[in-house]
Amino acid sequence: SQQGEEDPQALSIQEGENATMNCSYKTSINNLQWYRQNSGRGLVHLILIRSNEREKHSGRLRVTLDTSKKSSSLLITASRAADTASYFCATDSPRGAQKLVFGQGTRLTINP
């Protein structure tokens, strides 16, 4: 089964720095999505990149997708303390019930 696997598992940086998180997966996808989870809360959709796209921007977020390497990255620029959260990539299968398969997540801590 396909799985998104993020690295690093944990990342701690200073406010204002950029944070980069990576995700790898195993099988073909329709799209790859990134979600954010504040501690003990639900997942919030951040950005979706389709399999035929290579890069996408949304505010301070930049996502890349390399389908040949089956990998994606999420870049958060000019990080803020409020960006502290866990970030998950999720892959969307081209078949089946449109379920999302999540990776282990990256726990990001922004130090003021």
We find the least distance from the C-beta atom of residue 80 to another protein, in angstroms, to be 23
Burial classification of residue 91, based on how many CB atoms lie within 10 Å of its CB (0-12 exposed, 13-18 middle, 19 or more buried): buried
- Quick check: 59 binds another protein (CB under 8 A)? no
d(CA 54, CA 102): 20
Residues 18-47 that bind another protein (CB under 8 A): 30-31, 33, 35, 40-45
- Quick check: 77 binds another protein (CB under 8 A)? no
- Quick check: 92 binds another protein (CB under 8 A)? yes
Binding test (CB under 8 A) with another protein, winner from 25, 105, 106, 108:
105
- Quick check: 98 binds another protein (CB under 8 A)? yes
* CA proximity to 9, closest of 89, 77, 100: 89
3-state percent helix, strand, coil for the chain, nearest multiple of 5: 5, 55, 40
How many contiguous H segments (helices) and E segments (strands) does the chain have? 0, 11
Residues forming contacts to another protein in the complex (CB under 8 A) are 30-31, 33, 35, 40-45, 48, 50, 88, 90, 92, 94, 96-105
